[in-house]
Chain A
Amino acid sequence: MVKTVKARVISKGVGEGEALVCKQPIGFNFGVEVDTGTINEYHHELEGISFKDKVLIFPHGKGSTGGSYVVYQVAKAATAPAAIINLNTETIIAVGAIMGGIPVVDHMEENPYDIIQNGDYVKVDAIEGIVTITKKGAQ
């Protein structure tokens, strides 16, 4: 099953990969190991898990505005997500992603948590504002 949903473009680009779904906000400053793209915030839902090359779905960023530079650093270290889908992108993620060229969309016309599960294959076209979801096992 393949589904396409419209979304708002925050940071331009196109990226695709396996979905990594996270219900909690992510703080990039002091919360991410840049060399591996691994979340290292104590007790975080994704603690110990890398977002490298995944399509990362999370509600929004949190914490220090210095986090923008960390988003940029993971892009330069090639450990960034292939693309990001937020419910509501805020300043930290938006600015870092634009600097680093990571595709980001938010405000999908359907709630991403209702239609995307871990392991689904997701393409984010953050130029046209279209998210294409291929359910796991349907490729």
Chain B
Amino acid sequence: MYLNDEQKQMLAGEKGEPAQVAMEILNALGNIYGAEKLIPVKSAHCAGLSLKSHGIAGMEWAEDMVRKGAKVVVPTTMNVVGVDRSRDLGLPADWVEHQMRIEKAYEDMGCYGTSSCVPYYYGFLPRFGEHIAWAESSAVVFTNSVIGARDNREGGPSAWASGITGYTPLHGLHLDENRTGDILFKVTANINSIADYGALGNYVGKMVGEKIPVFENLGNPSLEELVYFGSALASAGGVALFHAIGLTPEASDLNAVFKGKTYETIELGQKELEQGYQNLTSGKGKDVDYVALGCPHFTLNQIKEVADLLEGKRIKDGVTLWVHTNIPIKQMAEEFGYRKIIEDAGGVLTQDLCTILGNPEALGVTTLATNSPKMAFYAPGSNGLDVWYGDANKCIQTALTGRWEN
């Protein structure tokens, strides 16, 4: 891979050890993927900041990079983590301490001080065609597909390396020729809710792996529905880009996405939608002791929906309700009174925390109800929880009664 003088200096260690490590990572990846050169990125999003991913060794590595002067050179955001720094949620003390040290290290490198999977909701919104280096699979699929930015499915360290150097190797989805569709899905199922979008995304993600699915007749989704749909595609499979005819910016018609390529066509009816729901359900007993919403992190609109459902009510004793978002959106919810309504009802509006990367199992909960197709996919393995999956309304009714009712 071609390197310019500045990049060669970084690789030789002339710009400090962190820039050298970062350039070694990018140079190796560029060579592996046959990239011709590095290109500048406008922003980076570091994932894998949870203690579950970093471990103690990763925490010490990040702190070592800080001591050696690591600083990001483009706007760089931090992905969601396993603690809420603003309050004691009863999680183990050493867990909280180590997780907070990881967050502090990345902040010390110049990353923005809220940890969230949805930076595009609070100001870090790429434009169409912009090259970025983001990790966090749900954010990768959203920025690529819904915005039309150019992003590969980065891992945590490679996104960090792009934040430190300002570059990424030119390969994969940065190149137009790799953004054409692979399979056409014609939706005939009735898609009526965000939970339907999540279930459908799960079904397709599981089927296509890392291919690029194209959808026809995907309905009239809201922004939140597109985010949850994408997060399901990216967790059940490895989808980094989808197109929806007439909805997403590179998909004005079939010719625009397939560019003459031959492709298979698959119908998505009620049966396939129902299979998606079944894939996301691992619940056995109907008694639920944990309800978690907001994966990906909730918007103000989604928080208001929950507050409206909870106003003047009280969740059942013995049920824990966590609603996940980030600092900026939590502050807005505070300002508008939504947080008070949720917490007066016995729930908690968390900041920067995520159930999958957190440790709610340490609180002794066993059965989860969630509106998140991503959390429902990961929680059985990551948290050892049985899961019921449905929309926010159903989850809130479950929090009020302690029972999942069909």
Contacts and interface: CB of A to CB of B under 8 A. Distances in A.
Given A11-B28, A91-B158, A95-B29, A77 B21 contact: no
B259 to A, nearest CB: 27
A50 interface: no
Given A11-B24, A65-B156, A66-B53, A91 B32 contact: yes
B55 interface: yes
Contacts of A95: 25, 28-29, 155, 157-158
Nearest to A66: B53
B10 to A, nearest CB: 14
Contacts of A73: 55, 57-58
B61 interface: yes
- Range class of the B interface residue count: 20 to 34
A66 B29 contact: no
B225 interface: no
A90 interface: yes
A88 to B, nearest CB: 8
Contacts, number: 65
A76 interface: yes
A98 B28 contact: yes
Contacts of B157: 68-69, 95-96, 99
A65 B155 contact: yes
A10 interface: yes
Nearest to A8: B31
A73 to B, nearest CB: 4
B210 interface: no
Interface residues of A, number: 24
Which of A72, A73, A95 gathers the greatest number of chain B CB atoms within 10 Å?
A: A95
Contact of A77 (B53, B57, B61): B57
Nearest to B33: A91
B316 interface: no
B25 A69 contact: no
B205 interface: no
A73 B21 CA distance: 16
A11 B155 CA distance: 17
A99 B21 contact: yes
Interface string A66-88: 10111011001100000000001
B24 A68 contact: no
A32 to B, nearest CB: 12
Interface in A1-26: 8, 10-12
Nearest to A10: B28
Contacts of B155: 65, 68, 91-92, 95
Interface string B153-172: 00111100000000000000
A65 B48 contact: yes
Nearest to A96: B157
14 contacts: A10-B31, A10-B32, A11-B24, A65-B155, A66-B52, A69-B156, A69-B157, A70-B55, A73-B55, A90-B32, A91-B158, A95-B29, A95-B155, A95-B157
Interface of A: 8, 10-12, 34, 65-66, 68-70, 72-73, 76-77, 88-92, 94-96, 98-99
List the 4 closest A-B pairs by CB distance, nearest first: A65-B155, A73-B57, A76-B57, A94-B28
